[in-house]
Amino acid sequence: SLGGTVALGSDQVPGNGAHNIFREMRTISILTKCKNNDPTSLPPWETLKLGTKIGAKALGVGDKIGTLEEGKKADMITVDMENANLTPAIHEPFRNFIPNLVYSSTGAEVDNVIINGNKIIRDNEFVDIDEKEIKESAEKRAKLILNQAEDDWLEADSSMVEYHRNGFI
């Protein structure tokens, strides 16, 4: 009613750190049903739009991504719908692949990733990227950044610092 766009994203701070749009779709759908005490609230096909088409609109890039249309970037994934947690896959008299995707997918079922028409992941393997090298580099950089910021972080004395001092994290 206030004119905003409600969408889903998975890159937040502070957040759960999972960066997993499938988890976010499941969570928002279930929480909406609980809040409204109505199992029909926010059906899975509407939830999927929040993480795709409406998400792109909210970021101001709906004219470039978010749907598969002529003139837009060819950004897409394919999902192994025969994965055990996405079965049974029913095709008649109705289809259940969107509910299965929203409620049961972990993201591990994604088997191909195409960005701007270029295959980045093919059959669960990076095409032109050394995954081990990237992970090692990210780990090294994270340690460097955290070591450089440690004094400022401790000085901020947030609740996280207290948990750290007490050995919880």
Interval 78-115: pLDDT, tens: 999 999 999 998 888 888 999 999 999 999 999 999 99
In 3D space, the residue among 61, 52, 68, 67 whose CA is nearest the CA of residue 8 turns out to be 52
Question: Hey, is 33 helix, strand or coil?
Answer: helix
H-type alpha helices, 12-130: 21-36, 44-51, 53-58, 97-104
The two structure tokens encoding residue 46: 């509407």
Least confident of 17-31, 53-67, 155-169: 155-169
Residue 157 confidence (pLDDT): 82
Least confident of 11-20, 103-112, 158-167: 11-20
Report the DSSP pairing between strands 76-79 and 110-115.
Answer: antiparallel
* Predicted model pTM: 0.77
The reply to whether omega before 14 is within 30° of 0 (cis) is yes
11 — pLDDT class (breaks 50, 70, 90): confident
Between CA 74 and CA 45 the distance in angstroms is 21
In 3D space, the residue among 103, 123, 104 whose CA is nearest the CA of residue 114 turns out to be 123
